[in-house]
Amino acid sequence: MKRVAQVLRTPITTAVIGALLLTACATAPRTPVNDEFFTEATVASLQSAISRGDLSAVDVTRHYLARIDSVDPGLNAIIETNPDAESIAAALDRERETSGPRGPLHGIPVVLKANIDTGDGMATTAGSLALEGFQAPDDAHLVTALREAGVVILGKANLSEWANFRSTRSSSGWSSLGGQTRNPYDPDRNPCGSSSGSAAAVAANLVMLSVGTETDGSIVCPAGANGVVGIKPTLGLVSRDGIIPIAHSQDTAGPMARTVRDAALLLDAMATPDPDDPAMADRPEEIASFVAGLDTASLAGRRIGVVRNHPGAGSHPGVDTLLDDTVAALEAGGATVIDVEIHAEGAGAAEWEVLLYEFKSDLAAYLQTAGTPYSSLAELIEFNTANADTVMPYFGQEIFELADAKGGLEEEAYTSALAEGRRITREAIDSTLSANELDALVAPTNGPAWLTDPVNGDTFRIGSSSWAAISGYPNITVPAGFISGLPVGMSFFGTAWSDADLIEIAHSFEQATRARRPPGDG
H, E, C per residue of 168-198: CCCCCCEECCCEECCECCECCECCCCCCHHH
Question: What pLDDT band is residue 360 in, cutting at 50, 70 and 90?
Answer: very high
pLDDT at 347 over 90: yes
Average pLDDT over residues 418-435: 98
pLDDT at 24 over 70: no
Q: Give the pLDDT of residue 521.
A: 78
CA distance 386 to 448: 37
Burial class (CB in 10 A: 0-12, 13-18, 19+), 48: buried
Q: List % helix, strand, coil for the chain (3-state, nearest 5).
A: 40, 15, 45
pLDDT digits (tens, 9 = 90+) for 227-237: 999 999 999 99
Active centre residues (catalytic): 113, 194, 218
pLDDT at 21 over 60: no
Share of the chain above pLDDT 90, in %: 92
pLDDT digits (tens, 9 = 90+) for 60-77: 999 999 999 999 999 999
State which amino acid sits at residue 306: V
Cα–Cα nearest to 167, from 158, 177, 176? 176
Q: Give the pLDDT of residue 522.
A: 58
Phi first, then psi: give them for residue 474, nearest 5 degrees.
-80, 155
Three-state DSSP at 254 gives strand
Average pLDDT along the chain: 94
Average pLDDT over residues 234-256: 98
pTM of the model: 0.94
Cα–Cα nearest to 246, from 280, 219, 221, 281? 219
pLDDT at 245 over 80: yes
State the chain's maximal CA–CA distance in angstroms.
63
Q: Give the pLDDT of residue 485.
A: 98
H or E stretch covering 243 = none
pLDDT digits (tens, 9 = 90+) for 261-311: 999 999 999 999 999 999 999 999 999 999 999 999 999 999 999 999 999
pLDDT at 466 over 80: yes
The domain segmentation of the chain, as residue ranges, is 21-55, 57-279+297-341+424-522, 348-414
Residue 359 DSSP symbol: H
Q: Does domain 57-279+297-341+424-522 have CATH number 3.20.20.105?
A: no
